[in-house]
Structure 1
Amino acid sequence: MSRLITTSGFLRVFRLTLAATLGTVLLSSCVATPSGSDAPGQSTGNAESNEGNGASENGNGRSPIATALTNAAVGGENLRFDIYSLERHSPEVLVLTMGVTNIGQSEARVFHTLSEFGDYGEEATSPSGVSLIDMQNHKRHMPLKLTDGKTCHCSNWKGQENLPPGESIEIWAAYPAPPENVELMAVMTPVTPDFLDIPITEAEAPDSSIVDMPVDKPRILDFWAFQDDINGGTSRSETGDTTSIMLSSDVLFELNESTLTDAADERLRAVAEEIDASSATTVQIDGHTDNTGNDSINNPLSLDRAKAVEKRLKELITRDGITFEVTGHGSTKPIADNETEEGRAKNRRVTITFAK
C-alpha cells in the first residue's frame, strides 16, 4: 500500500503532509459539485451531496461549480468555500474566483482560517498560497506577482476578519495560463480538500485591469508526485520527465555497513527494470545518512553505500549507453526531522534519479 502526496518539492511535501494531517484531524469537509453543473462531481473525506446543505448558491446568489464544506477547529468557524469560475482572460492570464460563506449561526473569525491561504513569507490576507495544478503537463501554477516580486496579483481581504452568519466574501487570483489545449485544472488550497477537474472557460468580459497589470516573471513549478510506501523501504517522486526513487538504507544495508543485504536485491532489480524501460542515459545515485555520528564517518559511509548500489545496478541493467553519477552527501540533506527515530530512518537513504 502507498500514499500519494502532491507537491513541487520535498519542503512542499512536508508542508502539505502536515496540512493534510491537520485537515484529517481537525476538519469535517467535503468537495462536491452542484446539480446541473458541467463539472464532474468530486469528494474528499466525509463526502456529502450538496442537496439540502445550502451550497447551491452563496450569500450573493451566485452558483458555484465546486464546493468544500469546512468546520474549522480554530475559533469554531463553519465556512463554505466555493469556486465560481476559472477563466481565461487572455492567452497569458487565467483568473480563479472563489467565495467564502459563513454557514454557521454566529459570527465567524474568518481571518484565522483564511490566514492560511497566504504563501510563505507573504501577507496573510491574500490567496497567494492557492495554486493550480496542470495534471496534463505535470505543472503547478502559482499566482502572478506584481513587479515588486512580492505582492500577489490577487484580491485582499484585509479588514474583513469577521464574517456574520450567511455573509460571503469573494476572492480572486490571477495565474499564468496553461497551454490552450488544457481544459481542466485542480485547485489546491491549504485549508480545504483539493478541488479536482475544475473546467477552464473563456471569460465573456475579460478584465483589462487584471490582464494589463505589469507582473513579475510567472512561477510555473514542476509538479512532483510523491509516493511513500507505508510499509517502509521505498519512496518515489516524479516530475514531468524525471523519476527519483528513494531506498531506505535500513533495507539495503546492515547498521553502519555498506554491503548490500539479500533484501536489497529485490528492490534494486525492480529499479533496474524501470531504468531499462526508461529513456535514461544518465543515472544519478546519491547516498545520505542521518546526523548520528560525525562527518568523518557519515560522508564516506554515504558514498560507499551509493557506490554499492551503483555496482549492483550495473550488473542488473541490461541495456547499454548508461552512465552513472555517484555522490555521498553524509547528513547534509535531511528530508525529515533528525530529532526523532522515524525522521532519522527516512534520512538514511540512497536516491536513484533518472529520466522517464
Structure 2
Amino acid sequence: MLILSGSPTAWRPLRIAIPLIAASFLLTSCVSGGGDDAGDSDQQQDQDGPSGASGNDGPLATSLSTSTSYGSNLQLDINTLERESDDVVVLEMTATNVSENDSVTFDYALVAADGTYRTPDGVTLVDTANRERYFPLMNTDGSTCLCSGYENNSIIPAGESLDIWVAFPAPPDDVTSVAVATPATPDFMNIPLSDASNPDDNIANATVEDPRILPLSGFQDDIDGTTSREESGDETSILLSSDVLFELNESDLTPDADEALEQVAAEIDASSGEEIKIDGYTDNSGSDAINNPLSEERAESVRDRLAELVTREGVSFEVAGHGSSDPVADNGTDEGREKNRRVTVTFGK
C-alpha cells in the first residue's frame, strides 16, 4: 500500500508521498474554453480570478480522468501556470464533461483527503528538479485555499466546462517547469511556468498563511505491517518491527529476523551508500533506564547480522539507541506501540 502525504498523527515519516508520475498528453490543438464564472471562495468575493483564464492558444496539456468514478467523462485541461509576483504563481485549469448525456458532479474531484468541499485544494505542484511539492496557498483562517470555489455550479452538464484557478507559493526563479498533480487525473509532466502578462494584484497581494512546501519522499507499509520504508531524494530508510526481530524485552535476534535482514542486506549491496545508519526505538512502556539501552542493544544486534550478510566492500555502520523518543505512532494504542517498537536501517541510494 502506498501512503501519500500522511497525517502527522499517523506514521511520522509520511512527510510526503509521491505519486510520480503517470502519463499525460501534451496537445497543440485548441480545446474549448470554460463555462460560467467559477464562483468565489470567502476571500475571493471581490475577485474575478486571474486574467487570461481561457488559455487563448489552447491548453498546455490535457488528460482524461482514469482514477475516479468519472471515468473518461471528465477531461481536465491545464491552461496556464504563471507567476503573479515573486511569491505567488497561479494555475488555471478547465474541467470539461465530455459525455453526450450524463452530468458530472464535481464536488470532490479536486479536493484533498483532508480538504474543503468544492475547492481544488488537492491540486499540487511538483518541482522535480529540487524534489519538492508545493501545496495551495491557504487563506488566513486556514479553512480554504486561495482559489476559485464552485459552490453554485459544481454540477457540469454534458458537453459543458468549468474554469478553475488555484494559487501556490512560487518556485525559485530558475524553475521553468513543474509537474501538476491532481486527485482526479494522471499527473501532468513538464508544465511550463511563465510570467503573467497582466498580474492580478488582488491575488498577488492576498494575505495568506505561511506557504506549505514539503520535500518529496515515498512511504510504503507492507500489508502485514512488519516492515515499512521511506524513500527520499537520496536515501532509503527501512523500518523493521522489533516484534519480528526480537522476543519481548530481548535483544537477541529471532530465527524469523533473518528473512527480513537478508532482504535489507540485498538492498544495501545494490545501493551506493557507504555509511549505514541503524537506529533502535521502543514504545513508551517502561522507563528510560530500560528502554534506552534495550533500543541500542537491538540496533547493535541488527548491525552485527547485517555486517555478516552485506557483501559489498567499503560499508561502515553507525548505531544509536533512542528509547521511546521520536515515536512514529500513537503510544496510546496497541497498534501504535507496535509501530513504535522498531529498528530503522538508513542508507544512500
Query: What TM-score do the two structures reach when normalised by structure 1?
Result: 0.67
The answer to whether 1:327 aligns with 2:319 is no
For the residues of structure 1 that align with 2:232 and 2:6, how far apart are their CA atoms?
A: 8
Whether 1:155 and 2:129 are equivalent positions in the alignment is no
Q: Determine which of 91, 102, 117 is the counterpart of 2:111.
A: 117
In the TM superposition, what is the alpha-carbon distance from 1:175 to its structure 2 partner?
A: 0.7
Residues in 2 aligned to 1:267 and 1:200: alpha-carbon distance in whole angstroms? 42
Which residue pairs with 1:87 in the alignment? 82
Compute the displacement of 1:184 (Å): 2.3
Structure 1 CA distance, aligned partners of 2:224 and 2:31? 44
Shift of 1:327: 2.4
Decide which moves more: 232-241 or 5-14: 5-14
Alignment partners' CA distance in 1, 2:180 and 2:258? 44
Query: Which residue matches 1:181?
Result: 174
| Residues 28-177 of structure 1 mapped to structure 2, 5 A cutoff | 31-36=23-28, 56-60=30-34, 62=55, 63-70=58-65, 74=69, 78-114=73-109, 116-118=110-112, 120=114, 122-177=115-170
Report the CA distance between 1:117 and its aligned residue. 1.5
**In structure 2, what is the Cα distance between the partners aligned to 1:312 and 1:75?**
48
Deviations 1:25-74 (A, max 9, x none): xxxxx85324448xxxxxxxxxxxxxxxxxx5134575222222126765
Q: Confirm whether residue 277 of structure 1 aligns to residue 274 of structure 2.
A: yes
Partner of 2:199: 206
Change (3 A) 1:271 1:104: closer
Q: Supply the AA of the counterpart residue of 2:82.
A: E
**Contact residue 154 and residue 173 of structure 1 kept, 8 A:** yes
Aligned-pair identity in percent equals 38
Go from structure 1 to structure 2 and tell me whether the alpha carbon gap of 1:267 and 1:301 turns closer, same or farther (over 3 Å shift): farther
> What is the number of equivalent residue pairs in this alignment?
310
Unaligned runs of 5+ in 2: 35-53, 308-313
1:245 match = 238
2:157 and 2:315 map into 1 onto residues whose CA distance is 67
Q: 2:217 aligns with which of 195, 212, 224?
A: 224
Once the two structures are superposed, residues 267-321 of structure 1 have per-residue CA deviations (whole angstroms, 9 ceiling, x without a partner) of 564577769625x8x75433569xxxxx57xx9799846632334427838558x
Q: Conserved in 2, the CA contact under 8 Å of 1:75 and 1:108? A: no
1: CA distance, partners of 2:88 / 2:108 = 27
SS of the residue 1:127 aligns to: coil
Structure-2 separation of matches of 1:178 and 1:330: 31
2:297 to 307, 327, 336: 307
Shift of 1:160: 0.7
